[in-house]
Amino acid sequence: MQTNPVIKLADIHKVYHTGEVDVHAVRGISLDIFPGEFVAIMGSSGSGKSTLMNMIGALDRPSDGNYLLDGIDVSTLDRDALADVRNEKIGFVFQGFNLLSRTSALENVEMPMLYNRHRVQSHEQRERGLHALDLVGLGDRAGHHPNQLSGGQQQRVAIARALVNKPSLLLADEPTGNLDSQTSIEIMGVFQKLNDQGITIVMVTHELDVARFTKRMVILRDGQIVTDEAVQNRSAADNELQRLRTAQQAVKLAS
């Protein structure tokens, strides 16, 4: 591939100094992720995937090694510069949605633009916010508050918020962890559609079913990569939904 990687991790280490014992959470990870990829980072708890995620998301700095995000060496930046990188380059989707309560879907989506280095006019904020909501199929729910939306819809709002600053990378941390299986498939459908449009997605998950929707699986154990391979028999959300509905239909007929 001729293009530059979005993410270039070179021998990344992370050591936590907690009390008497040093915890070596990530032990020398090197990883290149190119534009248009859809990667699942997997591993059991304690495998270091959350730590890796935090570093990829510019929430934390590696203790050792280099991390180039879109060509910028993130491993040396200070707090403020990291905040700017998160604002411009990364869109976060969390397990618990993390929307602001008592705040409309549109206002939630507009929030990242309030922290842009270059001021975005209010009407432009509104346009971009509504456009992002359209992308996730919630154009008609702009005025709804999170408590008026279902879990799947809330996660879609969160995805719209992640997309609104046109990031280089969409970073999802267990995005389906709080959702039932049908909604999970719907959300994965949204991710697949976005990826088809060329958006690079990195997703942390511990569910193989969910990982199957991606294109590439990276499996960690004890802070190191043990498997890095393309996904075989990739699931397509549309087919999976169809299958699920048929199965549900069958259950109803049987009872």
Partner 1 sequence: MRILASLKIAGRALRRNKMRSLLTMLGIIIGVGAVIGSVSLTSGATKQVEDQVSSLGESVITVFSGNFTSGAMRGGWGSAPTLTVADAEAISHLKNVVAISPEVRDRKQVLANGLNWNTQVMGESPDYPQIRNWGVSRGAMFSDQDVRSLAKTAVIGQTVADELFPNENPVGETIRIQNLPFLVVGVLTPKGFNLFGQDQDDTVVVPYTSHMHRITTRIFVNDILVEAANDKVITDVQQEITDALLIRHRSKEQDFTVRNQLELMQTVTATQRAMGFLLAGVAAVSLVVGGIGIMNIMLVSVTERTREIGIRMAVGARAADILVQFLIEAVTLSAIGGVIGIAGGVGFSRAVAYFKDMPTVTPVLWIVIAVVSSALIGIISGFYPAWKASKLDPIDALHYE
Residues that bind partner 1 (CB under 8 A): 54, 57, 59-60, 79-80, 83-84, 86-88, 92, 94, 98, 100-103, 107, 111-112, 114-116, 119, 161, 165
Q: Which is nearer to partner 1, 86 or 128 (CB)?
A: 86
Q: What is d(CA 209, CA 235) in angstroms, rounded to the nearest whole number?
A: 9
Q: 83 in helix, strand or coil?
A: helix
Residue 90: CB minimum distance to partner 1, A? 9
Judge whether 146 and 101 are in contact, CB under 8 Å. yes
Q: Which is nearer to partner 1, 31 or 58 (CB)?
A: 58
Query: In the chain, helix, strand, coil percent, each to 5?
Result: 40, 25, 35
Token pair 């511990």 in the structure block, residue: 206
Residue 22: CB minimum distance to partner 1, A? 18
Q: Is the dihedral of CA 101, 179, 217, 238 positive or negative?
A: negative
Q: Which is nearer to partner 1, 59 or 236 (CB)?
A: 59
Strand bridging mode 21-33 / 7-18: antiparallel
Q: Which is nearer to partner 1, 145 or 215 (CB)?
A: 145
Residue 59: CB minimum distance to partner 1, A? 5
Q: Supply 230's token pair.
A: 């393309």
Residue 66: CB minimum distance to partner 1, A? 21
Whole-number Cα distances in Å, 204 to 153, 179, 193, 211, 252 = 20, 15, 18, 9, 34
Judge whether 48 and 20 are in contact, CB under 8 Å. no
Residues facing residue 229 across a β-bridge: 217
How many residues make up the chain in this entry? 255
Residue 53: CB minimum distance to partner 1, A? 10
Q: Supply 94's token pair.
A: 């969390």
Residue 214: CB minimum distance to partner 1, A? 22
Q: Which is nearer to partner 1, 107 or 240 (CB)?
A: 107
Q: Which is nearer to partner 1, 59 or 68 (CB)?
A: 59
